[in-house]
Every structure is written in structure tokens, then in C-alpha cells.
Amino acid sequence: MRETIGFAAFGPGEELRPYRFERRDLRPDDVAVRVTFSGICHSDLHAVDALPTGGDPFVPGHEFVGEVAAVGADVTRFRVGDAVAVGNIVDSCEVCPACRDHREPYCVESPTTTWGGIDRHDGTTTRGGYSAEYVARDRFVHHLPAGLDPAGAAPLMCAGVTTFDPLRRAGVGAGDRVGIVGLGGLGHIAVKFAKALGAHVTVFTTSAAKVRAAHDLGADAVVVSTDDAAMAAVGQTLDFVLDTASGKHDPSPYLRVLRLDGTLCMLGTPDRYEPEAMALLGRTMTLSASAGTVRTREMLEFCAAHGIVADVEVIPLAEVNTGFQRLANNDVRYRFVLDVAGAQVAA
């Protein structure tokens, strides 16, 4: 076994503490990754809050970058020292239609997630990337293109793929009119992607304080969604709206700004909505999960070609609890990233 150290939660809502534990010995198709930067996602926060009492220590982290420390006997795509990235899925059944189409998040047997998943070989629970080392199947490890800032690239492996995939599946391109709801960890990357794809981008935000920030990111128009007159002025003009807002909300106002046959894609689950807002003009509302392996590699290449990374605030791994608290208070612009390589941790 390979001993490593990281930060873990030991109960629901508890602060994370240093934790020494073992990674599995490398299987023939495994890659050991020395983690350098790991992003903090709202999912990490929610998972800690939802932990069962008396359960195993939980190590968060499902968007991280690092360097290859070792490879299994059958691995040919990677060498020791390669810069790599790992996202929120580390295994799947490989045989269902979704997996054969490289859309592993929709695996009919459920994919194995980077933390809190069940290993398909030995039944152990996966532990995430808030740790010095991670071991994953080579199929779910990705080359990190040269030139991308590693800290800014870490959130691409969750926030990035989650927004890139629906934009690509919708065929967003030059001249399309796209709306982005929310300007947080996901929304700010979605704006960058949509602009790089050639779209005219309208950002919808509940905060007037974010208008300038949205324009700075490249938005062509910004609408404060609590302003009924401003929303009405948009009319039925948008081809596609990507709703990245994390809180429960009614997406009906964003359905109403769509043109004939327009589509609203939500990255969360709607709290409620008005069916007539969808039925009118033949609009469609869809939900989207993360991205599969092929789309993830496409996204990384796209980011390299267009110089896209997340806007991040890097903090030491030892300050993870401060990061959690500030994220809970929405005090971040736009993503916290933990400096794991520079950590001084004692367990």
C-alpha cells in the first residue's frame, strides 16, 4: 500500500483535520498522481455537511492537477513527471451504451466518483484529492496541456467540464445568442467558453454588484434578473440558456427569454417551474451532469488553444476550513484552489 496524508472530515459538518491513510498498490492500469493543486467545490461542502455520524473519515476533492509519480505495468500513455489532471469520475462499467460512447457520467451502473465512490475491484470507498497523492485508472487521468496555469486549471476538471459539455452538445457557435445564469465558480467559466465559441453572451445575475465583473469576463450584455423590466426587455431572443445557479430557484424567467425551439439547460434541479413557459414556443428544458473522458480531453485542448482557466484564489491546504467557511458565505471570486504541493501537514 502507498501511505499518503491529507485532510478529512470525521463527522457531519465538522472541520477537516489532517489524516494519514493508505492508497492502494498500483494495478496494471493505474497512475499514481502527486497532487499539486485541488479545487474546492460546493459539492465538497455539501458532502461534508451530509456525512453520516460514525462513518469513515471523508477526504474531499474531485478537481485536481499534479504530476505522475508512478505508473502500472500496462500504462503506456503516461510517464513519471507528466503533468496531469483528474476530475470527478475515476471508473465506470465500460460496457453500457453511455460508457461505450465515452459519456461515463451516465453509466447505467453509476460511475465511480473520485470521493465517496465504491471501488469496482475491492469495494473500498474512494478518498479525494485533498491529499498528497491519488491513485486512479489511466483512462480517467488526463494530460494537462503545457501553458495552462496549474492552479487555474484544477477547477476545469469539475466546473469546467460541467459547463463545456452542454455548450458543445447544444452546438453553440459563432453568432448564437447564449444566456448564462449565475456568475460563480461555474458561471464565470461558462462565460469564457461561450465567448470563445463565438456566441453573443448575456449574463443573468441577481446581484447588481456583479454587472461590471460580468462585462470584464467578456459578457456582451448583463441583466439583473430581479428587475422585471430588464428581463422583459430581453424578449424572446436567446437560442440557448445555461443555468449554473447553485441555489434552489424557479427557472421559468429564463425559459421565457428563449426564442422558438430554444433550450434551457440546468446544472442543478429546478425547485419549481411553470410548464406553460416551456410549452410556449416549443421550448425545451434539460438537465446536465458532468462530462465523459473524450469531452474532457476536448475541453482541455480547447482551453489550451484559447488560454482559458478559472479565476482562482489559491490558499494553503492547511487553510481548507477557512476556504469552506468563506465559500459557504459566497466570499470567493470565483474558485478556491488548495496549494497541496506546498503543504506542511502533520497528522
142-183 pLDDT, tens per residue?
A: 999 999 999 999 999 999 999 999 999 999 999 999 999 999
Q: Per-residue pLDDT averaged across 57-83, rounded? A: 98
In this predicted structure, what is the pLDDT of residue 344?
A: 63
Measure the CA–CA gap between 341 and 132, rounded to whole angstroms: 7
Q: Per-residue pLDDT averaged across 40-53, rounded? A: 93
**Is the pLDDT at 296 greater than 70, yes or no?**
yes
240 contacts 176 by C-beta, under 8 angstroms = yes
Distance of CA 252 to the CA centre of its chain: 25
Measure the CA–CA gap between 68 and 34, rounded to whole angstroms: 6
CA angle 99, 101, 102 (to 5 degrees): 60
* Of 34, 114, 62, residue with least CA distance to 342: 34
In this predicted structure, what is the pLDDT of residue 281?
A: 74
234 contacts 204 by C-beta, under 8 angstroms = no
**Would residue 296 be called left, alpha or beta, if left means φ above 0 and alpha means ψ between -120 and 50 degrees?**
alpha
In this predicted structure, what is the pLDDT of residue 282?
A: 81
Q: Where in the chain is the domain with CATH 3.40.50.720?
A: 160-287
Q: Name the pTM for this structure.
A: 0.94
Q: Identify the residue with better confidence: 71 or 2.
A: 71
In degrees and rounded to multiples of 5, residue 135 shows phi and psi of: -120, 125
pLDDT category at 275 given cuts 50, 70, 90 is low
State the CATH class of domain 2-158+309-339: alpha beta
In this predicted structure, what is the pLDDT of residue 163?
A: 98
Of 53-57, 150-154, 301-305, minimum mean pLDDT range: 53-57
* Of 129, 126, 130, 94, residue with least CA distance to 113: 126
CATH code for the structural domain at 160-287: 3.40.50.720
In this predicted structure, what is the pLDDT of residue 153?
A: 98
**Is the pLDDT at 279 greater than 70, yes or no?**
no
Measure the CA–CA gap between 213 and 182, rounded to whole angstroms: 12
Q: Where in the chain is the domain with CATH 3.90.180.10?
A: 2-158+309-339
In this predicted structure, what is the pLDDT of residue 343?
A: 76
In this predicted structure, what is the pLDDT of residue 278?
A: 62
Q: What is the mean pLDDT of the chain?
A: 94
Q: Per-residue pLDDT averaged across 14-21, rounded? A: 96
**Reduced to 3 states, what is the DSSP secondary structure of residue 250?**
coil
pLDDT category at 1 given cuts 50, 70, 90 is confident
**Residue 287 pairs with which residues in a beta bridge?**
266
Q: What percent of the chain has pLDDT over 90?
A: 88
Instruction: Read off the pLDDT of residues 147-158 as tens digits, 9 standing for 90 and up.
Output: 999 999 999 999
In this predicted structure, what is the pLDDT of residue 5?
A: 96
In this predicted structure, what is the pLDDT of residue 345?
A: 59
In this predicted structure, what is the pLDDT of residue 95?
A: 97
Q: What is the largest CA-CA distance in the chain?
A: 63
**Is the pLDDT at 270 greater than 90, yes or no?**
no
